[in-house]
Amino acid sequence: MSLISTANQIRIVEYERSYAAAVAEMWNRSNESWGGGNQQRTTESVEQDLGNSINLHTFLAVDGDEVVGFCSFSHYRNDEGALYVPLLNVRPDYHSKKIGKALILKSVEKTVEMGWPRLDLFTWAGNTKAVPMYKKCGFFWEKKDNSVHLMNFIPTVLQTEALKPYMDRIDWYADSTRSIEIKPDGVKRDGMFDCFEYSWAVDGQILRVEFEKTGRGLHALDTPDYTIETEIAEHDLVFGKSYTVRYHIVSKTGQPILCEINGRDDKNIRFELKQTIAVTDRMTVEGEFFVDPILEEQSDWKTHPVVMSEWIINGRKAEFRTGIAPKFPAKVSISGNEHVQYLHMKEELYLNYENHFNETATFTFELPSTQQVEFHEKQISITIPAKAKASVPVSYVLKEFGVYSAEVAVQAQLISGEQVHFERKLSWIFKGLTGRFSGEDSEYWYANNGAFTLVLNKQNNDLSFRCDHYDYGSWWSFPKLGKPYSAEFAKKKAEAVRFYAEDDVQVMEAFYQSEDFPGLAIRSIVRLQTNGLIEHYYILDNESGETTPDSLQLMECFRFEPNRMVLPYDGSYLDLNDSHAGSFDHWETNRISENWLYSRGDKLSRGLCWSPCQTLVKSDWFLGLEHPAGGLLTGQSIRTESTYLAMGTFSDWWDFRSFARQRRELEIPALADHLELRANAGNPFVKDAYELIVVERKNKPLDGQLTIRARDGEVASVHFAAETDDRRVNFTKQAAKFGAVDRIVLDYAGRDVLQERSTAVFTLSDQSIEQQTFVGPAGQSFRVSNEMLTLEAAPAFGNVAYSLKYNGEEWLDTSFPTPGPRSWWNPWHGGLGMEVQGMSGYSLQEEERRGDFVSLNDSLGNPWSGIRLTARIEKHEANRGLVIEQYYLLLPGVPILCKVNRIVNETGISYPRYHLTDRNYFLAGEPQTSGWMEVPDGPRYRLATHEIEIQVKGMLRIGSDHRSSMLHVAYQYPNAYGWSYTNNLLYNQGLVHTTPLPSSCTAWTKPVFYLLGDQILKQSDLQSLTSIRFGY
């Protein structure tokens, strides 16, 4: 680590790509300033983030070759008239070196240079180190309940001509006398206006400048020569009336203060004032302004309409701006049920009122019924005290789903006798599980299809989606043209929005006209299907008269909530079921290896996919896609590739992946861990020493204590520090004694989370598999044994293995040597067998059967040996030409039986989905009623006492109260459908294998493993085992 330099050795420079690696290093060494953690950024991620950002500038603090501070600088998206600092960071080891101050002052300087009046930023209330610095640099902390928003008016001060003679003698930073406290700023003027005050003193001269919060402008000046103060009686003013403003002017020197005052209109404020005066003592100038009607309530986040006047004071200009909140005579709104509603049922909503008059008033209007809703009480009247609130319940019956929207004429009868008339628009969305409709209210446009609703925000153009009343955290943001990308549509309302239907699709089309790129227009088109599948694309129209530059891009940005996500990454499919692993901060977008993301969610699944020819990028806080828009001739249009969001459409990640890829692959791969423990390169069978590998796939190093345990004790315990940047570590493990499962367990006590991973390893013996033929009660029989397991089959008896013994104990229930009826089956063989699609047990028993010994290598090269039972179908007409081979396979010294099937199709018919069933009958104990079955995390069920069937998803355990050993049945789910069934007469377990089976082709089923022993295993322990294949 380099020595920390003093502040005057730090250079403030603009970011360029050559600094990307140093910026990444700065962020990686700054995690403690942002809540902790050890996520890592890379050169590539920084290049992408900043290359796709909407920043106007990015300032860096550089010490030698190291970047030690970062400050982004952009337009402010939430309001007019301001630039913005989205992100400020100083590396922790450089705190208290005035680097943050230098970066902020650079931003203030740039704001003045660009001619903007204000600079904003957000922070958090507990940022006690930075808040005093922000205030010293000119920021005021606005008092708000839901954020810590700071505004800096120093750019206005420095650009106000009337203040220049005073500011020329003042160092606005060093000479400030403003009180600095770690709390919201502001003083009340006239009891109604929140004002922020700057003050400076130099050489006995005092300058005071006051800004009004909502108008974001000058409210008062107190100079060595004069004072000017604004007075308005109230801040909240009912529209449709005139009000008085007074300017109090005082000459402090007795010299004439020459003032030319001109009122200016602003938004819905009409202000006509024109006076020229010379003030030698005191004078008040009075004017009237009129508040025109408004169409919607004033947002607290936005600059309010202002009472604005332009002044020339002793020949120098100044602009006074005091904000007011225009009010309807009363606020009237609907509040109702946001959940799914039902037709023709009596429901209740509420009309909420706020009386904005300074006296009691009675409000009366008629609430009109529409084709959607029938109100029981149509004439509404309520008396409300001055400035008070009230609520009125209203009963209704819903006739059809839709957006209710009505302009109501309200009469206000004031207690003073005055009568006021005004109009209010009342809106509410009544939705159910069906219906296609569209509409709007004061905040949103809506398009609904069935249970799903598109919602376009009128303020920021966020395009989100609701099912019931939940929005599920995934949405599209506003479009961006660039590069560098423009944020103009972050606060520019769509020019128009239209809705239409195409077959069963509801379409919303929003129109945007660019000012930053004159002549370019964007159409945002969203198509909503009844099943929750949403298609989105843009059409860019060139009406500029010129060809667009070759470098022009249209950025499509979106948020996708990673709730229990499946992520295609580096060629694997990662299971991000842990909430801490899902953050996109942990993953590099250029390593997302396919064109989709999938979240299983809690209530509703979500899938996002895009064209395979596009690459996902990060843009500010969003994910995005860059659409080429260069070389577009005037008068031409270009349509972007479609992006799809599926809301609850696909309940399975592989189904959604098939949609995204537009093809379906039959075998569903196992999901990989983001923190992986791998033994013997994924082969669960070992003979000698083998390698254990721990891989951290997330973009963060190992940081904590890592311990590996095995059946015979601890393998390793190592502490890792983030600074070493270890992502992959190797250990050597000696093979355990053969015959028992060696469950390898990884305990990782990271700085952020405790995690456990495990895998099962099986040691092979040097003995070969014993093979024996003999003549038994059912004729020629075959026996194989591996010292622990012994398996027997007799083809003349049936297509089953009738005996499986573990250490001499029988585990199969069978009618051997003669088939007969049992429970629902006749003939019943029991044992480990099969059922053939479309054939009864009698028909299958009539076909030719034979047995032999076989040796077979699996996909990892392990040499299995065992018995093959072959059934050749010749008599059954529908299945004539099928050959089905059942393989019962063992390895030396391992208590595992592998069952796999091979199907040869010489029927002349192709089967798109051929079903072959494994059906097995087990004897869990003596008596059978002492036995039990269970799936992981499920209850334990008694056998042979009652009828019950449970679904098995990859693992089943079978045991008995009278046995210490148990049987695990394991296979890769969901590549086969499994069950476990018992009644009072028997117990069976089975799977249905489904595979395409073209004519003259051969298919292998996925193997099923039967593991016997005394140790309870997890499904994840056997992932390497169940990934094994035959016939590859």
Q: What is the pLDDT of residues 498-541, one digit of tens each?
A: 999 999 999 999 999 999 999 999 999 999 999 999 999 999 99
Domains of the chain, by residue range, sit at 1-152, 328-430, 437-661, 674-763, 772-1026
Average pLDDT, the chain: 95
**pLDDT bucket at 2, cuts 50 / 70 / 90:** very low
The total number of residues written for the chain in this structure? 1032
Is cis: bond before 795, omega within 30 of 0? no
The CB-side HSE value for 958 (13 A sphere, CA atoms) comes to 29
1-152: CATH homologous superfamily? Gcn5-related N-acetyltransferase (GNAT) (3.40.630.30)
Strand-pair category, 269-271 with 361-366: unpaired
The confidence score (pLDDT) of residue 471 equals 66
Q: Which residues contact 149 (CB under 8 A, 6 or more apart)?
A: 120, 122, 141, 142
Q: Do domains 1-152 and 772-1026 have the same CATH topology?
A: no
Residues of 926-961 as b/e, b for ≥16 C-beta within 10 angstroms?
eebbbbbbbbeeeeebbbbeeeeebebebbbbbbbe
Residues 894-927 pLDDT 10s: 999 999 999 999 999 999 999 999 999 999 999 9
Residues 966-977 pLDDT 10s: 999 999 999 899
What is the percentage of the chain residues whose pLDDT exceeds 70? 99
Q: Which of 38-42, 228-232, 632-636, 868-872 has the lowest mean pLDDT?
A: 38-42
The DSSP letter of residue 680 is G
What is the mean predicted confidence (pLDDT) over 354-377? 96
The answer to whether residue 276 scores a pLDDT higher than 60 is yes
The confidence score (pLDDT) of residue 465 equals 93
Domain 437-661, what fold? Answer: Beta-galactosidase; Chain A, domain 5 (2.70.98)
The answer to whether residue 752 scores a pLDDT higher than 90 is no
Q: What DSSP line would sit under 413-429, residue for residue?
A: EETTS-EEEEEEEEEEE
Contact by Cβ (8 Å): 601, 564: yes
What is the mean predicted confidence (pLDDT) over 750-775? 95
In terms of phi and psi (left: phi > 0; alpha: psi -120 to 50; beta: otherwise), the region of 115 is: left
Cα separation, 431 vs 402, in Å, equals: 6
Domain 328-430, what fold? Answer: Immunoglobulin-like (2.60.40)
Strand-pair category, 463-467 with 452-457: antiparallel
**pLDDT bucket at 751, cuts 50 / 70 / 90:** confident
The answer to whether residue 6 scores a pLDDT higher than 80 is no
Residues 634-666 pLDDT 10s: 999 999 999 999 999 999 999 999 999 999 998
Report the interhelical angle of 20-28 vs 43-51 (nearest 10°).
Answer: 110
**pLDDT bucket at 469, cuts 50 / 70 / 90:** low
Q: Which residues pair with 59 in a beta bridge?
A: 14, 71
Instruction: Specify the DSSP element, H or E, that contains 13.
Output: strand 11-14
Residues 823-837 pLDDT 10s: 999 999 999 999 999
Cα separation, 701 vs 28, in Å, equals: 11
The CB-side HSE value for 631 (13 A sphere, CA atoms) comes to 3
Cα separation, 221 vs 210, in Å, equals: 6
Contact by Cβ (8 Å): 212, 193: yes
Residues 305-322 pLDDT 10s: 999 999 999 999 999 999
Contact by Cβ (8 Å): 989, 1010: no
**pLDDT bucket at 238, cuts 50 / 70 / 90:** very high
What is the percentage of the chain residues whose pLDDT exceeds 90? 92
The confidence score (pLDDT) of residue 127 equals 87
Residue 185, both tokens: 């700023």
Strand-pair category, 643-647 with 606-609: antiparallel
Ordered alpha helix ranges (H), 89-129: 99-113
Cα separation, 585 vs 24, in Å, equals: 13
Contact by Cβ (8 Å): 1010, 967: yes
The CB-side HSE value for 322 (13 A sphere, CA atoms) comes to 29
What is the mean predicted confidence (pLDDT) over 151-177? 98
**pLDDT bucket at 293, cuts 50 / 70 / 90:** very high
The answer to whether residue 364 scores a pLDDT higher than 90 is yes
**pLDDT bucket at 621, cuts 50 / 70 / 90:** confident
3-state SS, one letter per residue, for 808-859? CEECECECCCCCEEECCEEEECECEEEEECCCCHHHHHCCEEEEEEEEEECC
Domain 674-763, what fold? Answer: Immunoglobulin-like (2.60.40)
CATH code for the domain defined by 772-1026: 2.70.98.10
| Burial group, residue 629, by CB count within 10 angstroms (0-12, 13-18, 19+) | buried
Cα separation, 782 vs 1017, in Å, equals: 31
Helix, strand, coil percent content, the chain, rounded in steps of 5:
10, 50, 40
The CB-side HSE value for 939 (13 A sphere, CA atoms) comes to 6
The answer to whether residue 773 scores a pLDDT higher than 60 is yes
Reported pTM: 0.90
The answer to whether residue 294 scores a pLDDT higher than 80 is yes
**pLDDT bucket at 472, cuts 50 / 70 / 90:** confident
The answer to whether residue 4 scores a pLDDT higher than 50 is no
Please name which of 269, 333, 265 lies closest in space to residue 296, comparing C-alpha atoms. Answer: 333
